[in-house]
Chain A
């Protein structure tokens, strides 16, 4: 698995795929460490747990976090398995205090506790992520859910994103005790929509998802085009929201002068510029080429196959500066000061209309602030949640 990632992604993220072509070799059926020990290679990449035990090599360290690829090792019961009692006992043992240090010594970080596999499982709080589909009219919506009893937070991705893009948010929000949920909006990722519809609406898809997950109230965070759905949802179903955060988004506001300002931001030819140029701020592009490459990977693969994108969805409400004036729930607007689509001055027009809404401007961030300045973004949102 490590080899697939290293050869297909890591080298191109690092921007060196072409230059080291022909200098790499894939190993099947043998440990990488053995080849290094023999002197067949100067450097090798593999799961840490498979490097540590090899003699004749030295383990240097993990890949840097920005390009690390963590895989989750999971257990499942073979169809027709015998000895089911022993299976359960064994899984419990692997999650026990006796086993965890042995796993960790061998480069594996335990993610399950014995309690959660045990008889009192129902009361426990599993940390494992769940992925699944929810049937909604005309589509199956794909979602990821950290589960648990924390206050739910739902993230809505951009036109260039999908449910995959929140890797800098997941650890911050789950470790702060929140239940993290993200989904692929229609037309994106793994979500499958029926070409014949019904197209439904963004807010109704979200409503169906939270109803399916039996979630009453939640925090909603929408970025860019995901913010259009967030604002439409806040207008349509405010009673379900603890708060909503509009991030780097024009919000889908349809007043003529607002639309005219949006159009002025996007001159002739702008849409033909490369997506990373349009949607990542210049400061970030200077300092983080690997992050730009990773963002671009998401951007290139975020759309669902054309056949399952479904018809384009109408809005639930025609959102105007007048309609949002009625929103009474806690709201925050976050703008990147280098955002070419939704600069602070544009988002301020929305914030001014919502009672008590704050506008936070993140410096040196473009249209993807959650990706470009994740620590600052996470801290800002968590502080806001803490008040609501």
Chain B
């Protein structure tokens, strides 16, 4: 199904409801959206009559706050927003309606160091490799 069809399916699903006025919308989203949503949701609520209840979790992994774990615990949701691999899995398992997925944003991996520490050179693959081998005591990655 193309995205166009996916959207058509979304419209069909949407078309079957007729909440005309204010509604409560429950969203479970990837942690990547936490900061953006803290700004966007109040804006959305102000410009519509709707209220958004959002919670955040990781797209993959088995941590207790992962999106899948939240759904398995019975946390209610109308919309889930997460990395596509994770969403595809939720669709496969029946948590999310097939044909309703829409790609929203691209997210990339970045590098950070402690405030005040010298900024390492990570602009090229070679520089990144050297940075990791020479300077680094411990790396931390998110799951």
Contact = CB atoms under 8 A, between A and B. Distances in A.
Interface of A: 1-7, 11, 14-16, 19-20, 23-29, 31-33, 35-37, 39-64, 66-79, 81-91, 93-95, 98-99, 102-103, 105-112, 116-117, 119, 121-122, 124, 126-130, 132, 145, 147, 290
A60 B113 contact: yes
Given A48-B110, A50-B142, A77 B79 contact: yes
Contact of A46 (B40, B132, B141): B141
Contacts of A47: 31-32, 107-110, 142
B139 to A, nearest CB: 4
15 contacts: A1-B60, A20-B139, A26-B143, A42-B113, A44-B139, A46-B141, A70-B107, A78-B80, A84-B13, A84-B17, A85-B20, A89-B48, A112-B105, A127-B103, A147-B2
Given A91-B104, A103-B36, A116-B7, 19 more contacts: A6-B139, A24-B138, A27-B142, A31-B142, A43-B135, A55-B115, A58-B112, A58-B119, A60-B112, A63-B128, A72-B104, A72-B106, A73-B106, A76-B100, A85-B19, A90-B44, A90-B50, A105-B36, A147-B3
Interface string B60-84: 1101110000010000011111111
Contacts of A19: 133
A48 B109 contact: yes
Contact of A49 (B25, B36, B65): B36
Contacts of B110: 45-48, 51, 59-63, 107
Given A76-B79, A77-B97, A28 B61 contact: yes
B124 A5 contact: no
Contact of A68 (B103, B108, B132): B108
A197 B143 CA distance: 42
Interface string B115-141: 111011011110111011101111111
B140 A57 contact: no
A53 B87 contact: no
Contacts of B97: 76-79, 81
Contact of B78 (A33, A77, A108, A132): A77
Contacts of B90: 76
Contacts of A4: 60-61, 143
Contacts of A35: 140
The 3 closest A-B pairs by CB, nearest first: A84-B17, A48-B110, A3-B141
A14 B129 contact: yes
Interface in B36-71: 36, 39-40, 43-44, 47-48, 50, 52, 58-61, 63-65, 71
B112 A85 contact: no
Given A106-B35, A147-B2, A36 B108 contact: no
A28 B133 CA distance: 24
Nearest to B41: A90
B22 to A, nearest CB: 8
Contact of A51 (B77, B112, B131, B143): B112
A45 B111 contact: yes
B111 A44 contact: yes
Contacts of A126: 2-4, 7
A270 B65 CA distance: 52
